[in-house]
Amino acid sequence: MISTLHIKNIGIINDLTVDLNNGFNVLTGETGAGKTLIIDSLRNYFRRQILKGNDKARRKSFFYRIKFIFT
């Protein structure tokens, strides 16, 4: 199970750490807050995809980090 998600330098996300609870977790926020970036980060990590096309435009820098902590 993923207990913590850390994203750095993707889109509008400079440095974000999210602690996830057991069970069901919900992401909420205004339009443009970065909810889709968080979901895409999860998807790309587990599919082992490299950012490409429109995703490159969303990446802020050549250095980015997606880190998961499993428990």
- What pLDDT is stored for residue 4 in this prediction? 92
- What pLDDT is stored for residue 10 in this prediction? 85
- What pLDDT is stored for residue 40 in this prediction? 85
pLDDT of 13 above 60:
yes
Provide the pLDDT confidence category of residue 51 given band limits of 50, 70 and 90: low
Domain 2-70 belongs in CATH node 3.20.20.120? no
24-54 in b/e burial notation, b at 16+ Cβ within 10 A?
Answer: eeeeeeeeeebeebbebbeeeeeeeeeeeee
- What pLDDT is stored for residue 42 in this prediction? 82
Half-sphere exposure of 18 (CA within 13 A, CB side): 21
pTM score, whole prediction? 0.65
